[in-house]
Amino acid sequence: MAGGVEVLVVFWKEWGIQALVLLSFALQVILLVTAEIRHRKDSAVLRVIVWSVYLLADTTAIYSLGHMSVNSSKWLAEHRLVAFWAPFLLLHLGGQDNITAYSVEDNRLWLRHLQTLVVQVLAAGYVLYESSIVAQQTLLRPAAILMFVVGFIKYGERVWALNCASSSNLSGKNYQSFGMVHIGSSVMSFGLNDPGAQLHMAHQLLSFPMHLLKGPLPLVAAETGFLHCSEWKSMYQLVEVQLSLMYDVFYSKAPVIHTWYGRCIRIISPMATVAAFMLFHQFSQNEGEHYNRVGVAATYVLLVGAIVLESTSLMGAMFSS
């Protein structure tokens, strides 16, 4: 038993931080897949999985950054490669586009996430500074700076998305008074059998369920052109689309993605990540023999994984309805 404990201790000292960083990346992949399934299917088992991964992903990244910052002053020159992983942890803390919050209550904690953002950015910067990556003239320096900027922006975007979805922005102290809201025939003139028409209608009427959070829902008056669609199935489909939009507003980065700065982030982030990959590849060709092969391989995994995740984010935004 004692021998097994000693083996675990030796493994942790030698490979602990590598295992944590790769685990952080793996959790992001799991979160991306399971959050998309959660959007379309309800299951008790799935809820437990998403909840566990959602909490564990942030905890792992924060612990890893803390572990790096505490031990960075003890590292030798060969540990600079490990310090290069710190910006990737910021990127992981930025999360995936399809999940920023597990529940509506998580959005109210956006100030706590803002505080965590400041602390973790300072920790990542300290790790890079202590490892001398920034001080030395190598290709690893611009690669680390690019990934640090991308990680900071993506994490900041997550905090901003939480702020936008915060119920404090939606549930004011003053209740909305009952009233009649008139919807013109220009909005209601088409039928609801067409999926595109349903989506357009759901967007047009999204303000009404949003206002429900502020108080009594106003009455809606529609032109008679809307009443020609007597199929209740179409109405239920419209509500289903609207619920999907509400899910995106409260649990994802949708309110931020579909803005000019959100689109800019989705274009710049993959380009910067690809540039960092090319810089590191050239660096590994020139000086890679001085570093542990496992560390170099793990760095490639992180870079390729970041490119895939950021490209997925870009494609999702491009083809989103």
User: Do 239 and 212 form a contact (C-beta atoms < 8 A)?
Assistant: no
**Which pLDDT tens digit goes with each residue over 251-262?**
999 889 989 999
175 pLDDT more than 70: no
Please determine, for residue 65, whether its predicted confidence score (pLDDT) is greater than 70.
Answer: yes
Q: Can you give the pLDDT at residue 1? A: 55
**Which is more confidently placed, 272 or 201?**
272
Buried b or exposed e, range 287-301, using 16+ CB within 10 angstroms: ebeebeeebbebbee
| Band (173; pLDDT cuts 50, 70, 90) | very low
Does the pLDDT of residue 213 top 90, yes or no? no
**Structure confidence at residue 245 (pLDDT):** 83
31-47 per-position pLDDT tens digit: 999 999 998 888 899 99
Which pLDDT does position 237 carry in this prediction? Answer: 72
The domain ranges of the chain are: 17-170+257-318, 180-248
Mean pLDDT of the chain: 80
| pLDDT of 100 strictly over 60 | yes
Tell me: pLDDT of 104 over 50: yes
Res 120: pLDDT: 96
Residue 129 has pLDDT above 80, yes or no: yes
Residue 23, pLDDT score? 95
On whether the CB atoms of residues 97 and 317 are closer than 8 A, the answer is yes
31: left (phi over 0), alpha (psi -120 to 50) or beta: alpha
